[in-house]
Amino acid sequence: MIKLKAGDLRKIAEGLREILQKEIPMKPAYWLGRIANKVTPELKVFEDTRISLLKKHTKKDKKGNLLFKKDEKGEEIKPQKYDIADEEALVKEFEELAAQEIEINFNPIKLEDIDVETCEKCGRKKGNIKPAILAKLENIIVI
Protein backbone atom coordinates (compact mmCIF):
# COMPACT_ATOMS: atom_id res chain seq x y z
CA MET A 1 0.00 0.00 0.00
CA ILE A 2 1.38 3.38 -1.02
CA LYS A 3 0.26 6.78 0.28
CA LEU A 4 0.31 9.57 -2.28
CA LYS A 5 -0.70 13.22 -2.23
CA ALA A 6 -3.54 14.03 -4.61
CA GLY A 7 -1.45 16.88 -6.02
CA ASP A 8 1.21 14.38 -7.17
CA LEU A 9 -1.18 12.23 -9.22
CA ARG A 10 -0.81 14.21 -12.47
CA LYS A 11 2.99 13.98 -12.54
CA ILE A 12 2.87 10.28 -11.61
CA ALA A 13 0.36 9.51 -14.37
CA GLU A 14 2.48 11.48 -16.85
CA GLY A 15 5.64 9.66 -15.78
CA LEU A 16 3.90 6.30 -16.09
CA ARG A 17 2.73 7.12 -19.64
CA GLU A 18 6.26 8.14 -20.60
CA ILE A 19 8.02 5.14 -19.06
CA LEU A 20 5.54 2.65 -20.50
CA GLN A 21 6.51 3.87 -23.98
CA LYS A 22 10.12 2.81 -23.31
CA GLU A 23 11.65 -0.61 -23.85
CA ILE A 24 11.60 -2.01 -20.32
CA PRO A 25 11.48 -5.62 -19.18
CA MET A 26 8.09 -7.37 -19.27
CA LYS A 27 7.65 -7.84 -15.50
CA PRO A 28 8.08 -4.19 -14.45
CA ALA A 29 6.11 -3.07 -17.54
CA TYR A 30 3.23 -5.25 -16.36
CA TRP A 31 3.31 -3.85 -12.82
CA LEU A 32 3.71 -0.26 -14.01
CA GLY A 33 0.66 -0.79 -16.23
CA ARG A 34 -1.31 -2.04 -13.25
CA ILE A 35 -0.21 0.97 -11.21
CA ALA A 36 -1.28 3.27 -14.06
CA ASN A 37 -4.71 1.62 -14.04
CA LYS A 38 -5.04 2.39 -10.32
CA VAL A 39 -3.73 5.97 -10.54
CA THR A 40 -5.91 6.99 -13.50
CA PRO A 41 -9.31 6.87 -11.71
CA GLU A 42 -7.87 8.75 -8.72
CA LEU A 43 -6.49 11.40 -11.08
CA LYS A 44 -9.91 11.75 -12.72
CA VAL A 45 -11.55 12.43 -9.35
CA PHE A 46 -8.82 14.96 -8.53
CA GLU A 47 -9.21 16.74 -11.90
CA ASP A 48 -13.02 16.81 -11.66
CA THR A 49 -12.76 18.37 -8.20
CA ARG A 50 -10.13 20.86 -9.40
CA ILE A 51 -12.40 21.93 -12.27
CA SER A 52 -15.32 22.30 -9.85
CA LEU A 53 -13.17 24.58 -7.69
CA LEU A 54 -12.33 26.71 -10.73
CA LYS A 55 -16.00 26.97 -11.67
CA LYS A 56 -16.92 27.85 -8.09
CA HIS A 57 -14.42 30.71 -7.88
CA THR A 58 -14.69 32.08 -11.43
CA LYS A 59 -16.86 35.11 -12.17
CA LYS A 60 -19.90 34.32 -14.31
CA ASP A 61 -22.11 36.33 -16.65
CA LYS A 62 -25.92 36.58 -16.24
CA LYS A 63 -26.35 33.25 -18.07
CA GLY A 64 -23.90 31.49 -15.75
CA ASN A 65 -21.07 31.24 -18.31
CA LEU A 66 -17.55 31.49 -16.94
CA LEU A 67 -15.81 34.80 -17.64
CA PHE A 68 -12.24 35.25 -18.83
CA LYS A 69 -9.87 38.04 -17.81
CA LYS A 70 -9.88 41.10 -20.07
CA ASP A 71 -7.28 43.78 -20.77
CA GLU A 72 -7.78 47.56 -20.48
CA LYS A 73 -9.52 47.59 -23.88
CA GLY A 74 -12.05 44.99 -22.75
CA GLU A 75 -10.57 42.25 -24.94
CA GLU A 76 -9.92 38.75 -23.62
CA ILE A 77 -6.32 38.14 -22.65
CA LYS A 78 -4.52 35.47 -24.68
CA PRO A 79 -3.95 32.79 -23.62
CA GLN A 80 -7.31 32.84 -21.92
CA LYS A 81 -7.38 32.89 -18.14
CA TYR A 82 -10.45 32.62 -15.97
CA ASP A 83 -11.48 35.77 -14.15
CA ILE A 84 -11.25 34.53 -10.57
CA ALA A 85 -13.45 36.31 -8.04
CA ASP A 86 -11.36 35.39 -4.98
CA GLU A 87 -7.93 34.00 -5.85
CA GLU A 88 -6.92 33.62 -2.22
CA ALA A 89 -9.91 31.37 -1.50
CA LEU A 90 -9.26 29.35 -4.67
CA VAL A 91 -5.60 28.82 -3.79
CA LYS A 92 -6.49 27.81 -0.23
CA GLU A 93 -9.05 25.24 -1.38
CA PHE A 94 -6.75 23.92 -4.12
CA GLU A 95 -3.90 23.47 -1.64
CA GLU A 96 -6.27 21.55 0.63
CA LEU A 97 -7.28 19.33 -2.28
CA ALA A 98 -3.69 18.74 -3.39
CA ALA A 99 -2.66 17.79 0.16
CA GLN A 100 -5.25 15.01 0.47
CA GLU A 101 -3.63 11.62 1.07
CA ILE A 102 -4.69 8.74 -1.12
CA GLU A 103 -3.85 5.12 -0.46
CA ILE A 104 -3.38 2.95 -3.52
CA ASN A 105 -2.78 -0.76 -3.19
CA PHE A 106 0.48 -1.58 -4.97
CA ASN A 107 4.10 -2.22 -4.13
CA PRO A 108 6.76 0.28 -5.17
CA ILE A 109 8.84 -0.61 -8.23
CA LYS A 110 12.57 -1.14 -7.78
CA LEU A 111 14.66 1.28 -9.79
CA GLU A 112 17.03 -1.50 -10.83
CA ASP A 113 14.10 -3.37 -12.43
CA ILE A 114 13.29 -0.55 -14.85
CA ASP A 115 16.42 1.53 -15.26
CA VAL A 116 19.27 -0.84 -15.90
CA GLU A 117 20.91 -1.46 -19.22
CA THR A 118 24.15 -3.33 -19.80
CA CYS A 119 26.79 -1.51 -21.83
CA GLU A 120 27.73 -3.64 -24.84
CA LYS A 121 31.35 -2.43 -24.82
CA CYS A 122 32.30 -2.75 -21.15
CA GLY A 123 29.56 -4.94 -19.67
CA ARG A 124 28.78 -2.39 -16.92
CA LYS A 125 25.23 -1.59 -15.96
CA LYS A 126 23.98 1.93 -16.56
CA GLY A 127 20.73 3.87 -16.32
CA ASN A 128 18.71 4.35 -19.48
CA ILE A 129 15.69 6.35 -18.33
CA LYS A 130 15.86 10.12 -18.31
CA PRO A 131 16.05 11.71 -14.85
CA ALA A 132 13.01 13.88 -15.69
CA ILE A 133 10.85 10.74 -15.98
CA LEU A 134 12.30 9.24 -12.81
CA ALA A 135 11.58 12.49 -10.93
CA LYS A 136 7.90 12.19 -11.86
CA LEU A 137 7.85 8.65 -10.49
CA GLU A 138 9.80 9.28 -7.27
CA ASN A 139 6.74 8.42 -5.14
CA ILE A 140 6.39 4.92 -6.60
CA ILE A 141 10.03 3.89 -7.09
CA VAL A 142 12.42 2.58 -4.44
CA ILE A 143 16.18 2.49 -4.80
Residue 42 confidence class, pLDDT cut points 50, 70, 90: very high
Q: What is the pLDDT of residue 33?
A: 92
Which one, of 46, 55, 118, 104, lies nearest residue 84 by Cα?
55
Q: Where are the domains of the chain?
A: 2-57+99-142
Whether residue 104 contacts residue 2, with contact meaning beta carbons closer than 8 Å, is answered with yes
Evaluated on CA atoms 81, 86, 89, 93, the torsion sign reads negative
**Percent of the chain scoring above 70 in pLDDT:** 91
pTM for this prediction: 0.79
Q: Measure the CA–CA gap between 55 and 17, rounded to whole angstroms.
A: 28
Q: What is the pLDDT of residues 122-138, one digit of tens each?
A: 666 566 778 888 889 88
